[in-house]
Amino acid sequence: MAAPKSFLVYVLGLFVTVALLPPSSAKLSADFYEKSCPQALETIRSVVEKAIDTEKRMGASLLRLHFHDCFVNGCDGSILLDDTANFTGEKTALPNANSVRGFDVVDDIKSAVNEKCKGNVVSCADILAVAARDSVNILGGKSYEVLVGRRDAKTASLNAANNNLPPPFFNFSQLLSNFQSHGLDIKDLVVLSGGHTLGLARCTTFRTHIYNETNINSAFAASMQKICPLTGGDGNTAPLDPTKAKFDNQYFKALLGLKGLLHSDQELFKGDGSESDNLVTHYSNNLKDFDVDFGVSMIKMGNMKVLTGSDGEIRLNCRKVNQ
């Protein structure tokens, strides 16, 4: 018996609709390199361990690279690209210039994995994600399962870096709006800001806070003024929390005492009983919860606008697109 005409039209329409849908992109997974290069992740960690053993600060630098990569058009390794005749990259953007570092370590990691994998298998974007996790773990934080399978961007954007990375003078509403624009929420904002438990900040990023603002412990401000004069000393650095090379919850304890180094840090705790205040207080008293939630938020951030499947490329050299 012949099918009704209406049914044939429906089936044909359904077929055309499905055919026009874009192919589903590959998903990130923890075991993406299990067959192509099972030694990939351990190779990345070995280079990160060596780099941090040489300079403890490098852990914070690698963590920051991943953050600054993801917040600019997604986690695609674009921050690693040098300028070309076709585009000005992100390295000289205001939040990055004379600030982001660790590019040589990424080069070392890329060389090591290419050798171990006997080919160009691991993306630069994945290297940033895994190196950030390993840095946190090596410096005392809880490890978390990194999802991999990202591919690398073929371009970068100076303007996008200037417009998307939250500066240290943002107030709370600006910070929250920025994070929400990337699909993150208030908990992610507080938790990921806790990454400032590692590393240093340059004088130019906190001078106004220690001289002109009142939401700061006076003795702490005075001690920071010895490091950062009103004029000059722009490149002088101070630790973002008292234990600059240990992943712990001292950052949150400092905020409770109005000892946040950056204006944007102290904006997370104002003593007004807000949701942000409550989160800061909770993490200051619960290191285990911070450890766990940090991993959750890092995985969430690491999924932002990733390139997978046939999108992008796997760069042979993290500093330039393939020829």
Q: Look at strands 237-239 and 200-202 and give their pairing.
A: antiparallel
Q: Are 140 and 247 in contact (CB under 8 A)?
A: yes
Q: H helices within the chain, ranges in order? A: 5-20, 40-54, 58-70, 103-117, 124-138, 158-164, 172-181, 186-193, 203-212, 218-227, 250-256, 263-266, 275-285, 287-302
The CA distance from 66 to 103, in Å, is 11
Comparing C-alpha atoms, which of 240, 233, 305 is closest to residue 59?
240
How many CA atoms, within 13 angstroms, populate the side-chain half-sphere of residue 210?
A: 25
H/E element, 143: none
Q: Are 148 and 29 in contact (CB under 8 A)?
A: yes
Look up residue 256 and give its two tokens: 């409770």
Coil, helix or strand at residue 97:
coil
Q: Are 79 and 319 in contact (CB under 8 A)?
A: no
Comparing C-alpha atoms, which of 169, 174, 266 is closest to residue 217?
266
Selected catalytic residue, list 66, 68, 209, 263: 68
Based on C-alpha coordinates, what's the Rg of the chain?
Answer: 22
Q: Which residues are within 8 A (CB) of 121 and not within 5 positions of it... i.e. 6 or more apart?
A: 33, 36, 37, 40, 113, 114, 314
Active site residue 68: yes
Coil, helix or strand at residue 307:
strand
The CA distance from 75 to 123, in Å, is 11
Name the residues annotated as catalytic: 68
